[in-house]
Structure 1
Amino acid sequence: MPTPDSDGLLAEQLLRFTRRVHRIQKRHIEQSGLGVTPAQSRLLRTLAHYGSPPRMADLAERLEVVPRAVTTLVDGLEAGGKVRRVPDPTNRRVIRIELTDDGRQALSKLRGARRSAAAEILAPLTEEQRRVLGGLLDTLVDGDVPEAGKRC
């Protein structure tokens, strides 16, 4: 059975790993030369998953941030020509956000940057270790709790 100290150490390792992932991804995004931040990159990826342009409130909910944060991200991306605000066709008071052609091209470059960051991050692992890590991360992300007394 794990001790509180071992769980604390594991949590610290996860935090350190998360910081490392962020640093590597940030470096690869910066090297892409697109002039976007990691947060803007995430917003672009989120926009790409919508069939029709979402409202800013939809983006805030999906990104799990306050609406003001989305406004700031959209302002920067709009200034760079990667997104644009468009009126809702059924309600003029509602503004929707859509990718521009430049935004779609940036997204393609960002996918390449994310792939190269992932390759760097996962380089020390074998294929089997990657498979096991993927399963463990799925469990942690889903928050599934094993049956009482049963450990994975």
Structure 2
Amino acid sequence: MQSSEVSAQESQERVYTALSSLFERMMCAAKSSSMTEVVEADLTFSQFRTLMELGSRGTAMSMNELADAIGLSVAATGRVVDKLVGLGYTDRREDPQDRRVKRVSLTDDGHRFVTTAVDQREDVLRAICHRLPGDVADALTAALDPVLHGDTDYFASPEPTTES
């Protein structure tokens, strides 16, 4: 390997290590505020995840769609939804086009819960950013700008290579 390739790989590993540490610390800080909401509402992780998934979709989901999205069986998802219906956070109704399909959506209380959890997470992340000195915040913004807004989409999945 040539020295420029080694240097590029070392740089990529350094940025991976730095971003991984940053994301881990930010997520830990954000999760701690969300966990307060979960504990106060006496929710399981699966119930919380269900509420957050419904909140992020903004529309009713079938039980099958919801089960796939949260990684549970349809039966387990049904038990989670039963509890959330009992707590007043979700509604479960028949699909108007197909009565065999049950659709789950957030109630007003469910929307308030999700909004509060998201707001708290954002408040934690915003507080971290506000503690950064101006020069560090500017340097971080300048470093991230070409990744987030440049001509190359670094977040796209790489095209599969075909071998002849």
TM bin (shorter chain): 0.5 to 0.7
SS in 2 for 1:3: helix
**Greater helix fraction, Structure 1 or Structure 2:** 2
> Residue in 2 aligned with 1:10?
15
The 1:55/1:24 distance shift into structure 2, 3 A limit, reads: same
Offset at 1:117? 1.9
Out of 89, 106, 121, which is 1:82 matched to? 89
Offset at 1:119? 0.9
**Is structure 2 residue 24 aligned with structure 1 residue 19?**
yes
Number of residue pairs aligned between Structure 1 and Structure 2: 143
Out of 112, 116, 120, which is 2:119 matched to? 112
SS in 2 for 1:122: helix
The 1:95/1:113 distance shift into structure 2, 3 A limit, reads: same
Out of 94, 98, 122, which is 2:101 matched to? 94
Offset at 1:97? 0.9
Q: Runs of 5+ in structure 1 lacking a partner?
A: 146-152
Distance 1:58 1:17 in 2: 32
> Residue in 2 aligned with 1:126?
137
Distance 1:37 1:131 in 2: 40
CA-based RMSD: 3.6
Distance 2:106 2:144 in 1: 34
**Aligned letter for 1:16?**
S
Distance 1:142 1:38 in 2: 30
Offset at 1:40? 5.2
> Residue in 2 aligned with 1:150?
none
Q: Runs of 5+ in structure 2 lacking a partner?
A: 160-164
